[in-house]
Structure 1
Amino acid sequence: MLQRIQTIYLLLAAIVSAGLIYVLALWTNNEGVEVFADDVNYVFVAFLVSAFFSIVAIFRYKNRKSQFMLGRLNIILNFFLLGFFVYQSLNISGETAVSEKGIGMLLPIISIVFLVLANKAIKKDEDLVKSVDRLR
């Protein structure tokens, strides 16, 4: 059912992954130019795939197991994105490619929080359906 709470969580995760990447800068380079996610191709693709997984999971409401699995895959993808940002900010010296870190590096964390909340609600629905099936 589309009116469940996990739909809202998945929609918020999709908005964070697809919408806020154009608003919040990832970092500022040496020349003072802000770098957004669409400036780095593989980061841009990873954010769009994350948003796609969230949107597909919304419409998989009849199959909660696949919806839960898509949420987990999306969480793993966001952890890879977060790991890349941590690597980018820690292992490269301050004045080479990343001069100043932006708030956009926190977008995978926000997305992970929404996806965990959605998976928790999906699991709760699945447990409810199983408990009703036991009563029959």
Structure 2
Amino acid sequence: MIQRIQSVFLLLLALAMLATAALPLWTKTDPLTNGSLTLTAFNLYRGPSAAAGEVVASAWPIGALAITAAATALYAIFQYRRRSVQLLVCSLNLLLVVATLGAAFLYSSRADAMLNVKMEGHYLAGFYLPTLALVLNLLASRYIRQDERLVRSMDRLR
């Protein structure tokens, strides 16, 4: 199970999505008033930092999608005996990760309009981790397909 490379990729994918849920995704600061907006996976905060700021809006769909994608990746790891189901779960996970990335972009673009400053906001590490998760998901799917081909070729030899 864990000795297979696709299990390692799926575990890293789950960790990346959990980190997405934990890390800030986007921030924008007004240099004149020192006001700032910080987007996390669950809320949009206004204030000097996410810990000390007030909640302006809820962004729970980002966090829900990220945690669901992480749970789906962990479920896929334990489907190692049924590779066709594992491939199907990876395909579902691909959609969840893309939806997480889309929701993060949507909420950050809406938050960008809330602070009327000509400067652009900055995407943080939490925003880029779903992109890493996409690559890891594609690699896991590739190696699962490769395993399936190997098992089928061994069945032909019998």
TM range (shorter): 0.7 to 0.9
The Cα of 1:21 is off from its aligned counterpart by 2.9
1:17-61 deviation digits (Å, cap 9, x = unpaired) = 013431x31112563243211322111100000000000001111
Relative to 1, partners in 2 of residues 1:33 and 1:86: Cα closer, same or farther, differing over 3 Å?
closer
Supply the distance in 2 between the matched residues of 1:43 and 1:66 (Cα, whole angstroms): 26
The Cα of 1:87 is off from its aligned counterpart by 3.5
The Cα of 1:106 is off from its aligned counterpart by 1.6
**How many percent identity over aligned positions?**
32
Match in the other structure for 2:6: 6
Supply the distance in 2 between the matched residues of 1:88 and 1:49 (Cα, whole angstroms): 18
Given the two structures, how large is their TM-score scaled by the length of structure 1? 0.86
Match in the other structure for 1:46: 65
Given the two structures, how large is their TM-score scaled by the length of structure 2? 0.75
Match in the other structure for 2:96: 77
1:78-103 deviation digits (Å, cap 9, x = unpaired) = 1122223334445x484416962322
Which residue among 113, 132, 143 is the counterpart of 1:121? 143
Supply the distance in 1 between the matched residues of 2:105 and 2:41 (Cα, whole angstroms): 15
Q: Which moved more, 1:98-107 or 1:11-20?
A: 98-107
Match in the other structure for 1:26: 25
Specify the code of the residue in structure 1 equivalent to 2:84. K
Normalized per residue, the structure richer in helix is 1
Structure possessing the higher radius of gyration over alpha carbons: 2
For the residue of structure 2 that corresponds to 1:62, the secondary structure is: coil
Supply the distance in 1 between the matched residues of 2:144 and 2:11 (Cα, whole angstroms): 14
Q: Is the counterpart of residue 96 in structure 1 residue 136 in structure 2?
A: no
Q: Is the counterpart of residue 130 in structure 1 residue 155 in structure 2?
A: no
Structure with higher RCO (Cα < 8 A, 6+ apart):
1
Supply the distance in 2 between the matched residues of 1:44 and 1:20 (Cα, whole angstroms): 8
Supply the distance in 2 between the matched residues of 1:93 and 1:18 (Cα, whole angstroms): 23
Aligned positions, number: 134
- Give RMSD over aligned pairs: 2.2
- Structure 2 residues without counterparts, runs of 5 or longer: 30-34, 44-58
